[in-house]
Amino acid sequence: MMADLAGRVALITGGGRGIGRAIAERFAAAGAAVVVNYLRDEAAAEATAKACRAAGGDALPWRADVTDAEAVAAMARGVDAEFGRLDVLVLNAFAPYLFDAERRTPFRGLHWDDYQRQIDGSVRAAFIGCQAFVPIMERRPGGSVVTIASNLVARPAVPYHDYITAKAGLIGFTRSLAAELGPQGLRANCIAPGLVWPTDASRNTREDLRDSIIGATPLRRLAMPGDIAGPALFFASDLSAFVTGQTLFVDGGLVMAASPV
């Protein structure tokens, strides 16, 4: 049995670049119509949509700030009018963040606003997205919500305090959502990648730190955007029809290698 999204509609927030683009293209190749949400980079979103069409699926770029409830509600109305359904919601967008161990702000230098910015970008955005789109998804069983967290919640090798706190909250949000939506036949699962290279967020990660992560990773490399797209497709498709409330660490075994159990 292969992952098949033919006839289904998927929306990926932050879908224009990096992990979001890789997921969009993989979904399109599996037959889905893909809504590519973006905030600023229209050219990148259009390029992703073009690549999705070339891969075999329909695609539509859609600009909306995922932390703006009115903008997301308008996007939901537009998607409903265009397609009449939504089967997969991938909550990939997050507040801008640079993984730079040397220039990170230590705990004593942080302010609550730093935490709030990340919480808004992850948890609040997920809340707003689900509030807008879950009512559309509830019309038919089998839908799937996929969130994107981080393996740092289990192994904070570099203590990016505000970012890790927000992603840990997103995992809790996802599990609670899974419990709530299960009786309606909808699922919610989370992917927790390791450092993904190259992306905008990881571009300032020093080479020696990347090499250190590679050396500690059983599969001896960093994740690439396409490595996250495969698990997302699994969670979106019927291959995971009896899987919900789970967090899948996609980091080449790094968290496992650090576990004392």
pLDDT tens figures, 69-115: 999 999 999 999 999 999 999 999 988 887 777 788 899 999 999 99
Distance CA 170, CA 92 (A): 11
Q: How confident is the model at residue 147 (pLDDT cuts 50, 70, 90)?
A: very high
Q: Is 163 a residue of the active site?
A: yes
Mean pLDDT computed over every residue of the chain: 93
- Write down all domains in the chain, each with its CATH number in brackets: 9-258 (3.40.50.720)
Q: Is the pLDDT of residue 261 over 90?
A: no
Q: Is the pLDDT of residue 201 over 70?
A: no
Q: Check if the beta carbon of residue 188 is closer than 8 Å to that of residue 172.
A: no
- Max CA distance (Å), the chain: 52
221-258 per-position pLDDT tens digit: 999 999 999 999 999 999 999 999 999 999 999 988 66
Distance CA 60, CA 35 (A): 5
Q: Is the pLDDT of residue 125 over 70?
A: yes
Q: How confident is the model at residue 152 (pLDDT cuts 50, 70, 90)?
A: very high
147: nearest Cα among 113, 98, 181: 181
Q: Is the pLDDT of residue 61 over 70?
A: yes
Q: State the residue for tokens 């992850």.
A: 122
pLDDT at 258: 60
HEC per residue, the chain: CCCCCCCCEEEECCCCCHHHHHHHHHHHHCCCEEEEEECCCHHHHHHHHHHHHHHCCCEEEEECCCCCHHHHHHHHHHHHHHHCCCCEEEECCCCCCCCCCCCCCCHHHCCHHHHHHHHHHHHHHHHHHHHHHHHHHCCCCCCEEEEECCHHHCCCCCCCHHHHHHHHHHHHHHHHHHHHHHHHCCEEEEEEECCECCCCCCCCCCHHHHHHHHHHCCCCCCECHHHHHHHHHHHHCHHHCCCCCCEEEECCCHHHHHCCC
